[in-house]
Amino acid sequence: MLVGVPKEIKKQEARVGLTPAAAREYVERGHSVLVETNAGIGIGADDEAYITAGAQIAATAAEVFEKAEMIVKVKEPQPSEWVQLREGQLLFTYLHLAPDPAQTKGLLESGVTSIAYETVTEGVGLPLLAPMSEVAGRLSIEAAALASRNFNGGNGLLMGGVPGVAPARVLVLGGGVVGTHAARMAVGLGADVTILDRSLPRLRQLDELFTGRARNLFSTSEALEMELAQADVVIGSVLIPGANAPKLVTKDMLGLMKPRSVVVDVAIDQGGCFETSHATTHEDPTYEVDGVIHYCVANMPGCVPTTSSHALNNATLPYGLALADGGLSAIMENAGLRAGLSTHRGKLTSAPVAEALGLACSTPAEVIAA
Ligand SMILES: NC(=O)C1=CN([C@@H]2O[C@H](COP(=O)(O)OP(=O)(O)OC[C@H]3O[C@@H](n4cnc5c(N)ncnc54)[C@H](O)[C@@H]3O)[C@@H](O)[C@H]2O)C=CC1
Ligand SMILES: CC(=O)C(=O)O
Ligand SMILES: [Mg+2]
């Protein structure tokens, strides 16, 4: 199969869909890889590195979209990319369609067969979301620390305090992959950390993992309100796979929070778990609502593209190779990939996206057998 890698064009997104090492694996499997010139420049991989790996270089994104049978990307396709996708082509990337009706329409109109990294499953886990959640969780505490600086409008607290002065209180909403990595960073800095989750099995795992170094609480409205009132930093990291994030914190509840406290809504790519969240960029990451600083960057790992691209490729490689080897048959044979199938020949196959956007939904078996 001819596998194409366009350069990412989302603002301040320097990750790349295939690293040279991953491109080499495709070539060694008998596939051809066509990489847009400078696609890997953000991770220090020049065209020469891809040529050494056995790939070919295309002068333009248009050439990649036109020739490739499968497109491997990182971020959801942008409007200028939707129109270059076509029926019979596979698209393997993050999509986040539930909060994005325009992109959903674009993909459906293109006829492309799209597989969303973030809904590919392995057992109960999300193996292609996890590496970027690890990165974003760790970054979230760095982002919160920076936003807490006095000159950035924050409350001027040092995350870990110092002897004789209390540390900042960090509240983590959702103790999954993002939440756990955020908590680890915050604990490491000496912050006072509480994690809220609705899954008892997860709370038990967190209890064992943190052995008293972070509190955890079952997430009720009462617990949330009590904790919000005491927090200096709140990390939003809940997820219902494929669906819009539940709006756990309403605009009214923001009034409970301390002035100049900081919210990092990592779940913003699924619409965010604060009613007051809207997506921001690395260039202008924060804004204020009712005295609370909001950081809502939807592609957080894009600011550490080297670590992120390698971590992402480690996870995507076996699935990408299976798709390149088997095409549509791989989707039908691999339950994990099937869970990622989002659109095929103008039909939507993700139930949470269909529900969020009020659209009709088909099953993978209905559309692929057809
Ligand atoms: N902004 C960015 O750049 C990035 C955003 N993300 C996003 O971060 C979010 C979290 O991802 P993961 O940690 O991988 O998900 P996950 O599935 O590992 O964890 C989500 C956790 O939320 C909990 N949860 C669900 N509903 C809840 C509720 N009502 N109250 C309390 N807890 C609840 C679940 O039990 C689970 O433990 C996703 O939306 C993901 O797309 C991930 C990477 C980068
Ligand atoms: C998960 C995701 O959307 C990202 O890494 O940008
Ligand atoms: Mg995102």
Segment 333-346, tens digit of pLDDT: 999 999 999 999 99
Q: Domain check: are 142 and 86 in the same one?
A: no
Q: Domain check: are 122 and 141 in the same one?
A: no
**Averaged pLDDT, 189-205:** 98
CATH number at residue 345: 3.40.50.720
Last residue of a domain, one of 273, 302, 331: 302
Q: Which residues are annotated as a binding site for NAD(+)?
A: 133, 197, 202, 219, 238-239, 266-269, 297-300
Q: Which residues are annotated as a binding site?
A: 15, 75, 133, 197, 202, 219, 238-239, 266-269, 297-300
Q: Domain check: are 287 and 196 in the same one?
A: yes
**Averaged pLDDT, 112-127:** 95
Last residue of a domain, one of 302, 325, 345: 302
What is the predicted pLDDT for the residue at 98? 95
Q: Domain check: are 166 and 25 in the same one?
A: no
CB of 299 closer than 6 angstroms to any ligand 2 atom: yes
pTM: 0.96
Q: Domain check: are 324 and 203 in the same one?
A: no
8 A C-beta contact, residue 170 and residue 141? yes
**Averaged pLDDT, 127-143:** 98
The overall average pLDDT reported for the chain is: 97
What is the predicted pLDDT for the residue at 370? 60
pLDDT band at residue 4, thresholds of 50, 70 and 90? very high
What is the token pair recorded at 213? 């170094």
Q: How far apart are CA 258 and CA 105, in angstroms?
A: 41
- What is the whole-number distance in angstroms between the Cα of residue 291 and the centre of ligand 3? 26
**Averaged pLDDT, 168-184:** 98
Predicted ipTM beyond 0.95: yes
Q: Domain check: are 171 and 250 in the same one?
A: yes
Residue bearing the CA closest to ligand 1, atom 31: 197
- What is the whole-number distance in angstroms between the Cα of residue 167 and the centre of ligand 2? 30
Our answer to whether residue 269 is catalytic in this structure is: yes
Q: Is 348 helix (H, G, I), strand (E, B) or coil?
A: strand
CB of 196 closer than 6 angstroms to any ligand 1 atom: yes
The residue whose CB lies within 8 Å of the most ligand 1 atoms, and thus the one to mutate among 119, 178, 297, 299, is 178
Q: How far apart are CA 63 and CA 310, in angstroms?
A: 25
- What is the whole-number distance in angstroms between the Cα of residue 20 and the centre of ligand 3? 23
Residue bearing the CA closest to ligand 1, atom 7: 267
- What is the whole-number distance in angstroms between the Cα of residue 314 and the centre of ligand 2? 15
The ligand with the least distance to the CA atom of 246 is 1
What is the predicted pLDDT for the residue at 124? 82
CB of 269 closer than 6 angstroms to any ligand 2 atom: yes
The residue whose CB lies within 8 Å of the most ligand 1 atoms, and thus the one to mutate among 180, 207, 237, 273, is 237
Query: Which position among 31, 47, 96, 232 bears the catalytic label?
Result: 96
Q: Domain check: are 72 and 118 in the same one?
A: yes
% pLDDT > 70, the chain: 100
Atom of ligand 1 nearest to the CA of 238: 22
- What is the whole-number distance in angstroms between the Cα of residue 276 and the centre of ligand 2? 20
What is the predicted pLDDT for the residue at 369? 79
What is the predicted pLDDT for the residue at 261? 98
Q: Write out pLDDT tens, residues 40-93.
A: 999 999 999 999 999 999 999 999 999 999 999 999 999 999 999 999 999 999
Q: Domain check: are 31 and 108 in the same one?
A: yes
Last residue of a domain, one of 256, 276, 302: 302
What is the token pair recorded at 217? 């609480």
Q: Is 57 helix (H, G, I), strand (E, B) or coil?
A: strand
Q: Which residues are annotated as a binding site for substrate?
A: 15, 75
Q: Write out pLDDT tens, residues 139-152.
A: 999 999 999 999 99
Q: Is it the case that residue 247 has pLDDT exceeding 70?
A: yes
What is the predicted pLDDT for the residue at 123? 87
Q: Domain check: are 220 and 282 in the same one?
A: yes
Our answer to whether residue 232 is catalytic in this structure is: no
Helix boundaries (H) for the chain: 20-28, 47-52, 61-67, 79-82, 101-110, 130-147, 177-189, 200-210, 221-230, 251-254, 305-326, 328-333, 335-340, 351-357, 364-369
Q: Give the neighbor-by-neighbor strand order of the sheet with 215-218.
A: 215-218, 192-197, 169-173, 233-236, 262-265, 292-295, 286-289
Q: Write out pLDDT tens, residues 249-290.
A: 999 999 999 999 999 999 999 999 999 999 999 999 999 999
Q: How far apart are CA 351 and CA 359, in angstroms?
A: 9
Q: Domain check: are 295 and 315 in the same one?
A: no
Other CB atoms closer than 10 Å to residue 41's CB: what's the count?
15
Q: Domain check: are 182 and 282 in the same one?
A: yes
What is the predicted pLDDT for the residue at 235? 98
Query: What's the maximum distance between 2 C-alpha atoms anywhere in the chain?
Result: 69
Q: Domain check: are 272 and 173 in the same one?
A: yes
% pLDDT > 90, the chain: 98
CB of 206 closer than 6 angstroms to any ligand 1 atom: no
**Averaged pLDDT, 211-224:** 97
**Considering its fold, how many domains does the chain have in total?**
2
Cα within 13 Å of Cα(251), Cβ side: 6
Q: Which domain holds residue 147?
A: 130-302
- What is the whole-number distance in angstroms between the Cα of residue 36 and the centre of ligand 2? 21
Q: What is the DSSP string of 84-96?
A: T--TT-EEEE---
